[in-house]
Amino acid sequence: MDLCMLVVSLILEIIFIALFSSHPVVAANSKLFREYIGAEDKGVTFSDVPINEDVDFHFILSFAIDYTTSSSSPPSPTNGDFRVYWDTQNLNPSHVSSLKTHYWNVKVAMSLGGDTIANNEKVYFSPKTINSWVRNAIHSVTDISRRYHLDGIDIDYEHFHADADTFAECIGRLLFFLKQNGVVSFASLATYNDDSAQPHYLALWRKYGHVIDYVNFQFYAYEKCTNISQFLKYFDEQSSNYRGGKVLVSFGTDGSGGLSPENGFFMACRRLKHQGKLHGIFVWSADDSMKDGFRYEKLSQTLLAK
Ligand SMILES: *[C@@H]1O[C@H](CO)[C@@H](O)[C@H](O)[C@H]1NC(C)=O
């Protein structure tokens, strides 16, 4: 009888353990550090920015825009014909080559779109038709990517003259083509908590999430003086919006909002790291960080490298 009870209780215990033990957390931390560069014509170069050899480092050239460049008339949309708008004096193709030969751990991407152009005019995503936009974008983005030896594409439109499904189709097909044909090896989207932008990016995520490697969520677009617990709540919200995605955390060095390094950004990062949820950190932007000697870039990379 005793033996019988023992066996039964052992079996029950085994079943209980099998059913209810929590699965060990698979740490999904990564050592990815990304930084936007070149949007503000402040003369910043790749070699100004400190690079820790123990992280995966992405520079994101900002921006290529499908708008005309003419000094005589205001910029206007070109239906997917992208041109380079970053500081090409200091960030040209040979700078990219030499950077990549010096650092095995550095890759270079470019970001498409952005907030504004010229005299603070908003950049709108303005395709004429899906097919024509995609055709032009494939051609121009491939051309720029080859010329600049790029590894990745970031999508950063913030204003829209097209609905969410059109956006998703255009961007999804472009990214699919670029990755399928080995033009670039990774893609990210850059979105923020905004009623008009989010539906576009969520539609893109739903339909083409499988071609998007990282979600550069602009946590610095939240209110100034965000505290740690709010920040962690926002992180959870966006992680569930972009379910299955690698949502990266971020701060701005241009005086924008969100949880700043002074108010506990790195403490929040350590919390996420402890939970296996730190997929990487990105910063807007190198142009703005130069004045402070990139101190927070150094701290970010040290935290990721550990
Ligand atoms: C963070 O801010 C929220 C909203 O202002 C506030 O309710 C909360 O108490 C703050 N938390 C901490 C730890 O300061």
Q: What is the pLDDT of residues 65-100, one digit of tens each?
A: 999 987 778 899 999 999 999 999 999 999 999 999
Select from 224, 225, 229, 260 the residue to mutate for testing ligand 1; criterion: most ligand atoms less than 8 Å from CB: 229
Q: CA 71 to CA 168: how far, in whole Å? A: 32
Task: Provide the b/e sequence for 36-67 (b: ≥16 CB within 10 Å).
Answer: bbbbbebebbbebbebbeebebbbbbbbbbbb
pLDDT tens digits along 185-200: 999 999 999 999 999 9
| Residue minimizing CA distance to atom 3 of ligand 1 | 230
Structural domains in the chain? Answer: 2-305 (3.20.20.80)
pLDDT for 23 equals 44
The residues assigned a catalytic role are: 158
- Residue 6 CB neighbours (<10 A): 10
Q: Is the confidence at residue 1, as pLDDT, over 60?
A: no
Ligand 1 center to 258 CA (angstroms): 13
Q: Is the confidence at residue 153, as pLDDT, over 50?
A: yes
Q: Which of 14, 50, 20 is nearest to 33 (CA)?
A: 50
With a 6 Å cutoff on the Cβ, whether 225 touches ligand 1 is: no
Average pLDDT, integer, range 51-59? 98
Ligand 1 center to 192 CA (angstroms): 21
Distances (CA, A) of 202 to 47, 171, 198: 36, 12, 6
Average pLDDT, integer, range 160-174? 98
Task: Provide the b/e sequence for 251-284 (b: ≥16 CB within 10 Å).
Answer: bbbeebbbbbbebbbbebbebbeeeebbbbbbbb
The DSSP output letter for 168 is: H
pLDDT tens digits along 6-53: 666 655 555 544 544 444 445 679 999 999 999 999 999 999 999 999
Average pLDDT, integer, range 47-63? 98
pTM of the model: 0.91
pLDDT for 22 equals 45
pLDDT tens digits along 236-290: 999 999 999 999 999 999 999 999 999 999 999 999 999 999 999 999 999 999 9
Residues written for the chain: 306
Ligand 1 center to 242 CA (angstroms): 25
Q: Which two tokens stand for residue 114?
A: 């952005």
With a 6 Å cutoff on the Cβ, whether 230 touches ligand 1 is: yes
